Structure 1
Amino acid sequence: IDFVLEGHQRVCEVLSRADNRAAVAQAVALLSDARQVGIFGIGASGILAEYTARLFSRIGLPAYVMNRTGFSLAEQLIGLQRGDVLIMMGQKSPHREGMTTLREAKRLGIPTILLTQAVDSRFSQEAQVVIDVPRGGDSSRMPLHGTVLVCLEMIVLSVASTTPQKTVKSLKRINDLHRAIGKSGGKRGS
């Protein structure tokens, strides 16, 4: 219990630092002007990427996920386009999937926001914005993914606050569509 609680307390402290606040503000400024958002994460981070894409879509900012490996990732990378912003979750290991994603973003002039605890990594050198997100205690323990989720939700809600009318309009439309689905006899709550 303490490991998880302390990990989340620590991430709140680290995200509150002046350098991280500035990085988050920079990320929000980039995202507020984005055509759409590509979110990269592999493994458990891929699940966070899917959830975050849904959150961005809810606030009216189109988003897509890059969470596969091999040929399947190549198919997802084809969706990157000029005017997009890339959010990447990555750690120390400069794996091929991450490096290829960064190279493609660079080729297209897409700014990259990196969420990592490895602020001196190869990924960090390629990103325009680096947000320090601790993943828990020492490296011998299981990494926490909730800490990354805290940062992702903070970013999404901050972007939503920069365009409140767009956010409200999008949420209203989603609710209207949900009511229409409910009236058509479809499954509720899905």
Structure 2
Amino acid sequence: MLAAGRPNDKLSDRIRVRARNVSPAIARVLEFIDNNRHEVMTQSALEIAAALRTSDATVVRAVQALGFSGLRELRRVVATASGVGQTPADTIARTVASIKARSATAVEQVFADHQETFNNLSAPETQASILAAVAQLRPAKRIGVFGIGATAFLARYFAMSLNRIGYPTFVFDGCLSPLPEQLLEMRNVDALVMLAYGKPFREAISTLGEARRLKAPVVLITDSKEVALTRHATAVVPVLRGFAGRIALHGATFVCLEAINFAMAAENPPKAISTLERLTRLRSAVHK
């Protein structure tokens, strides 16, 4: 029997319907396709055939029985099928499948995806949102920066960059101390920059709630349109992290943070210059 269909998974529905009118050999291949999405996205017809102890021709006929011209077209559907998980293994499998489907190299795919995110970043409306974010941050005496997981590294880098041009910072990342303890420091920041991607998660919601309670303006950098986050932000900067369901690319986020940092320095050059001069003296003293 075929595995129970995944919620809202049209591919599973198609497999169950087509399996009723095919030979047992092809039905076995269809069952394999339904239950082994990762393998289908990354293995050749020969490899799938070897796993099932059948011929690659049988695998091809099974794929065609589903209405696809071949494995490449099937992979496109599998890569975007709803119901496919969101674990790191899922996203890397979908990304590899997308590369195979387009007959591209991994390097070409990364460059093409980054080009798409940079095009979005350079759009006039996105640049206007970056300037609006700078306007919110400029009066702040101390700026909080939120980032969890992979974005924690970007948050720390951005905080260090702001500190170098005269804007003291505090990072909310849950790393050196638990996030609840860190959130006590929200009372000492005048504005918050949030790096929050995807669906709203508890850490982001809690941090945003604390900032709202203390009436600190929030600059949200995100690819999410979830109102649970965006409606409470003072300024929203839309920055893509590649394509939905595939591995996250942080290049555009990094460039956005660099743009904000440079714009902040340009708003008050004497502050930036004097802080950097002080940093140079401190480095000299440390490395003597």
TM-score normalised by L of structure 2: 0.60
Counterpart in the other structure of 1:55:
161
Rate the CA distance shift 1:101–1:3 in 2: closer, same or farther, 3 A.
same
Q: Comparing 34-43 with 74-83, which one deviates more in the overlay? A: 74-83
Counterpart in the other structure of 1:147:
252
Classify the secondary structure of the residue corresponding to 1:33. Answer: coil
Contact 2:145 2:194 in 1 (8 A): yes
Counterpart in the other structure of 2:225:
119
Deviation at 1:121, TM superposition (A): 4.4
Any stretches of 5+ residues in structure 1 without a counterpart?
184-190
Alignment pair present for 1:33 and 2:142: no
Q: Which amino acid is 1:129 matched to?
A: A
Contact 2:199 2:224 in 1 (8 A): no
Deviation at 1:93, TM superposition (A): 1.9
Alignment pair present for 1:104 and 2:210: yes
* CA distances 1:85-124 after superposition (whole Å, capped 9, x unpaired): 1110112322111111111100111011111111344211
For residue 6 of structure 1, the aligned residue among 95, 112, 125 is 112
Higher relative contact order (CA 8 A, sep 6+): 1
Q: Within 2, Cα distance between the matches of 1:172 and 1:9?
A: 36
Q: Which amino acid is 1:114 matched to?
A: L
Q: Comparing 96-105 with 78-87, which one deviates more in the overlay? A: 78-87
Query: Which is greater in Rg?
Result: 2
Counterpart in the other structure of 1:78:
184
Counterpart in the other structure of 1:186:
none
For residue 168 of structure 1, the aligned residue among 266, 269, 273 is 273
For residue 285 of structure 2, the aligned residue among 169, 177, 180 is 180
Counterpart in the other structure of 1:64:
170
RMSD value over aligned CA atoms? 1.6
Classify the secondary structure of the residue corresponding to 1:100. Answer: helix
Q: Comparing 149-158 with 119-128, which one deviates more in the overlay? A: 119-128
Counterpart in the other structure of 1:129:
235
TM-score normalised by L of structure 1: 0.89
Q: Within 2, Cα distance between the matches of 1:108 and 1:5?
A: 41
Counterpart in the other structure of 2:148:
42
Contact 1:8 1:136 in 2 (8 A): yes
Identity rate of aligned residues, in percent?
37
Deviation at 1:154, TM superposition (A): 0.8
